[in-house]
């Protein structure tokens, strides 16, 4: 089945805008004809073959895709990335990306200002995994390799990265909201003196829960323990004016953390891969010092490769980010912040409708733009089977959701009362990452209801 509400793939005016930008860029480039191979019939056929293969995808850009955390890049980001490919800069050193390195520093400084950092050291990465790796690596160097603690619902890479770094790792239990339990954290901190870093998550990838960064800092600072904030998913929501009080306090406290990771390729409207790591103390740059006898001679200015674990990095990612932030400044009350507020509103709207449906039970009220809900039934196994069936039925109606296995201790009364005949309960999950989702909640709800009814009827038959 195909949806009746299809988006045009190419925005009006996109090709003309790119052509004009390429013409302006071309004024600075003098390329011999021999370096520009023609796009002949063979090349055209290869492109068409690629287009054929790429049809095997979900419709990620459409509002009826409300499943995993996949958000289409803004058209200007996509066009700026393509424009930069005519140069193909490498932001490891100024030799390979002079203009794009300057654009990266400017764009990263704007992200640092968004978090309230008065000073900073930072750069773009290929994604949140590398950004978090750099944060934990600096923490290891600063703390002598003491233990890392993150919540049980933090991203799985923290335990894996700690293992890569040879640092002990402990998962701290969460409370009923999926946030790190402050009581459990305090007990951990009181029980040992080998903890060097606590990771607070600003927007878990499971349910969008926001750890109490302010309270975690209050526990860690007197003990001289570093606090890293993994805001890879939820960092941009600091610009939203519609956060709840707890989340607002948590985001405001990020300014006092030791490091923060954020992914512009999630809510920052960027193509993959574009992550970012920030440290408010530029002195940690000493840990990056290394010798490269042939690299850093084109300028006395800071080369980004001198403060990065990665070497070659796509300068095009910096160009796309800089261009997007020029169009959509990272300021509260402006267009970009409003887009994030629309995502929050969409999640709250859908959550209210799920909560009002006797066939479903909401896991928790959404703090950001992710909601999780279970199917009311007699047992975990029956509920989980129905969730899978609804997921399948919804896909047949062009509504694409996601699934998540939830531990019993995280379930509200309406779900935990079922017979626990398996270890976890499979629930439905939805990431409402697009501002357009706000206008599609009626359609999403209608398709969800029909899919639920179809799944139940098929089960009864």
What's the CA gap between 11 and 194, in Å, rounded? 54
pLDDT 10s per residue in the chain (461 long)? 344 444 466 788 888 999 899 888 887 776 676 667 788 999 999 999 999 999 999 999 999 999 999 999 999 999 999 999 999 999 888 888 889 999 999 999 999 999 999 999 999 999 999 999 999 999 999 999 999 999 999 999 999 999 999 999 999 999 999 999 999 999 999 999 999 999 999 999 999 999 999 999 999 999 999 999 999 999 999 999 999 999 999 999 999 999 999 999 999 999 999 999 999 999 998 888 766 555 555 565 667 877 788 888 999 999 999 999 999 999 999 999 999 999 999 999 999 999 999 999 999 999 999 999 999 999 999 999 999 999 999 999 999 999 999 999 999 999 999 999 999 999 999 999 999 999 999 999 999 999 999 999 988 77
> Can you tell me the distance from the alpha carbon of 375 to that of 384, in angstroms, rounded to the nearest whole number?
7
* For helices 441-460 and 380-396, angle between their N-to-C axes, nearest 10 degrees: 120
pLDDT in tens, 366-377: 999 999 999 999
Q: Residue holding tokens 């300014």?
A: 255
Name 275's bridge partners: 125
Cα gap 241→340, rounded to integer Å: 9
Closest CA to 336 of 40, 76, 50: 76
Complete domains list, the chain, with CATH: 98-327 (3.40.640.10), 335-460 (3.90.1150.170)
Tokens of 137: 């690596």
Q: Is residue 60 classed as helix, strand or coil in its secondary structure?
A: coil
CA distance 375 to 137: 42
pTM, two decimal places: 0.93
DSSP assignment letter at 283? G
Is-contact 332 238, C-beta < 8 A? no
Q: Which helix (H) or strand (E) holds 185?
A: helix 182-191
Q: Give the pLDDT of residue 34.
A: 67
pLDDT tens per residue, range 384-406: 999 999 999 999 999 999 999 99
Write the DSSP assignment of 163-217 as a string of letters.
HHHT--EEEEPB-TTSSBPHHHHHHHHHH-S-EEEEEEEBS-TTT--B--HHHHH
H/E run at residue 327? helix 315-327
């Amino acid at each position: 089945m195909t949806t009746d509400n299809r988006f045009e793939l190419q925005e009006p005016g996109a090709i003309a805008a790119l052509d004009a930008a390429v013409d302006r860029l071309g004024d600075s480039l003098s390329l011999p004809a021999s370096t520009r191979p023609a796009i002949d019939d063979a090349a055209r056929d290869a492109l068409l073959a690629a287009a054929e293969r790429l049809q095997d995808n979900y419709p990620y850009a459409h509002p009826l895709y409300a499943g995993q955390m996949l958000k289409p890049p803004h058209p200007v980001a996509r066009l700026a990335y393509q424009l930069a490919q005519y140069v193909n800069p490498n932001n490891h050193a100024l030799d390979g990306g002079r203009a794009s390195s300057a654009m990266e520093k400017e764009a990263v400084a704007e992200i640092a200002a968004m978090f309230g950092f008065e000073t900073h050291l930072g750069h773009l990465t290929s994604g949140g995994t590398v950004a978090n790796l750099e944060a934990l690596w600096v923490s290891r160097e600063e703390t002598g390799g003491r233990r890392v603690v993150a919540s049980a619902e933090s991203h799985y890479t923290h335990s894996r990265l700690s293992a890569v770094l040879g640092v002990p790792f402990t998962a701290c239990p969460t409370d009923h909201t999926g946030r790190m339990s402050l009581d459990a954290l305090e007990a951990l901190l009181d029980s040992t003196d080998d903890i060097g870093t606590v990771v607070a998550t600003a927007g878990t990838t499971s349910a969008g829960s926001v750890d109490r960064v302010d309270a975690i800092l209050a526990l860690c600072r007197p003990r001289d323990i570093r606090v890293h904030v993994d805001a890879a998913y939820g960092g941009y929501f600091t610009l939203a004016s519609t956060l709840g009080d707890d989340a607002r306090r948590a985001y405001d406290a990020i300014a006092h953390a030791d490091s923060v990771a954020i992914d512009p390729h999630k809510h920052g409207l960027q193509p993959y891969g574009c992550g970012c790591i920030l440290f408010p103390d530029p002195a940690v740059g000493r840990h990056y010092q290394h010798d490269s006898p042939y690299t850093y001679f084109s300028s006395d200015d800071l080369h980004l490769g001198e403060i990065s674990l990665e070497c070659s990095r796509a300068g095009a990612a910096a160009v796309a980010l800089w261009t997007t932030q020029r169009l959509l400044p990272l300021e509260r009350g402006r267009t970009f912040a409003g887009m994030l507020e629309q995502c929050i509103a969409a999640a709250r709207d859908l959550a209210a409708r799920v909560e009002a449906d006797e066939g479903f039970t909401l896991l928790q009220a959404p703090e950001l733009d992710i909601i999780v809900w279970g199917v009311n039934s007699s047992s975990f196994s029956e509920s989980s089977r129905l969730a899978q069936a609804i997921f399948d039925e919804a896909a047949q109606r062009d509504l694409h959701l996601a699934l998540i296995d939830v531990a019993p201790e995280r379930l509200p009364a309406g779900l935990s009362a079922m017979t626990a005949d398996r270890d976890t309960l499979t629930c439905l999950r939805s990431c409402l990452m697009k501002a357009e989702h706000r206008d599609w909640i009626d359609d999403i709800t209608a398709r969800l209801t029909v899919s639920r009814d179809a799944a139940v009827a098929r089960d009864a038959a």
